[in-house]
Amino acid sequence: MLKLSASVPSLLFLLGIGAPAVAQDYPTRPVTMVVPFAAGGPIDVLGRMLAPALGEALGQPVVIENMSGGGGMPGSYRVSQAPPDGYQFVLGSIGTHTLSPLLSKNPLYNPASDFTPVILVAEIPLVLLARKDLPAKDLQEFVAYLKQNHDKMQFGSGGTGTSSHIGCVLLDQAVGVNVTHIPYRGGGPAFGDLIAGRIDYICNYISLAVQAVEAGQVRALAIFSRERSAVMPSLPTAAEQGLAGIDAYTWNAIFLPKGTPPAIVARLNVAVSRAMDSPAARARLDQLGLDIPPLARRTPEYLRRYVADEIAKWGPPIRASGAGEE
């Protein structure tokens, strides 16, 4: 005779009835934040900045794992295939969840439907950075030099489909040139080669630029936003320097695998938001020029709509640029 008392708990769990209790206990062990780019790049820096405060808010350590290459898609794909239990999430970007899938003929995932959105973490303007010995002191001189020497120049990025790639594509389109693109496995390696003078320019996070510009390692020529940044107030916008229509930026957000229980999503959302508002993390984020969204824009539903809007916005210009044919 079957003993129902022994089998009911297992049956309830299999049917999902035990899920709320599981979510309430989450997390009971360390969680993994997948950073889908190389160590040392701007997304890696952001992840490592948030990890201690996030671990404190969750009550468990947050382990960062870098999985670089492919414009961030392989690392993001890994999370899309992970068990939906909250123990693995990706620190994504406009590159991983908008640009790379749009550029790829055979994307590894659908960014709008293969993940559970958690929270928008930051929005960051891009800046044009040139090697320190490039003979151009402002954007106008750079444009003149670019027109004369574009066939001999190279720009780098954190990988095909990243914001740093598309930012420079928009710049080249505005100038009317086609410069050779060198994709790296992350923004850190690309920036290192810019400092070494192996490439001519990049269009990257302002957070990556501040210290290097102050140290004289690279030259900042323009910020691709509507207004100047408080962290680099002397750096004029591209529009101020006569090159209008370039609004290039990136954003970062956290995504869980599709099908993650709502209670776990809510728990992680609250913990990340608390980490973002911790005094130490907030001071550092502000110092790097990262715009932190207000509470009304930190909900999972807001991020879901945001990703859909970004895909709709960037699809036409990417197709028009032909960048995906590289």
Predicted confidence pLDDT, tens digits, the chain (326 residues): 333 334 444 444 444 444 444 567 899 999 999 999 999 888 999 999 999 999 999 999 999 999 998 889 999 999 999 999 999 999 999 999 999 999 898 999 999 999 999 999 999 889 999 999 999 999 999 999 999 999 999 999 988 888 899 899 989 989 999 999 999 988 889 999 999 999 999 998 888 788 899 999 999 999 999 889 988 999 999 999 999 888 889 999 999 999 999 999 999 999 999 999 999 888 888 888 888 999 999 999 999 999 999 999 888 878 776 766 44
Q: Residue 23: what pLDDT?
A: 63
CB 260 within 8 Å of CB 84: yes
- d(CA 310, CA 292) in angstroms, rounded, equals 18
CB 180 within 8 Å of CB 157: no
- d(CA 70, CA 290) in angstroms, rounded, equals 25
Helix, strand, coil share (%) of the chain residues, nearest 5:
50, 20, 30
Q: Residue 10: what pLDDT?
A: 42
CATH 3.40.50.300 for domain 22-123+250-325: no
Q: Residue 324: what pLDDT?
A: 61
From-to residues of CATH 3.40.190.10 in the chain: 125-241
This model's pTM is above 0.85: no
Q: Which DSSP symbol is given to 254? A: E
Q: Residue 260: CB partners within 8 Å, gap ≥ 6?
A: 84, 85, 86, 116
- Is the bond preceding residue 27 a cis peptide, omega within 30 degrees? yes
Q: Residue 84: what pLDDT?
A: 98
From-to residues of CATH 3.40.190.150 in the chain: 22-123+250-325
Q: Return the structure tokens found at 276.
A: 């973002």
Q: How many CB atoms lie within 10 A of CB 214?
A: 10
CB 239 within 8 Å of CB 254: no
User: 125-241 has which fold?
Assistant: D-Maltodextrin-Binding Protein; domain 2 (3.40.190)
The backbone torsions φ and ψ at residue 104, rounded to the nearest 5 degrees and listed phi first, read -85, 135
- d(CA 214, CA 231) in angstroms, rounded, equals 11
Q: Residue 264: CB partners within 8 Å, gap ≥ 6?
A: 23, 26, 85, 86, 256
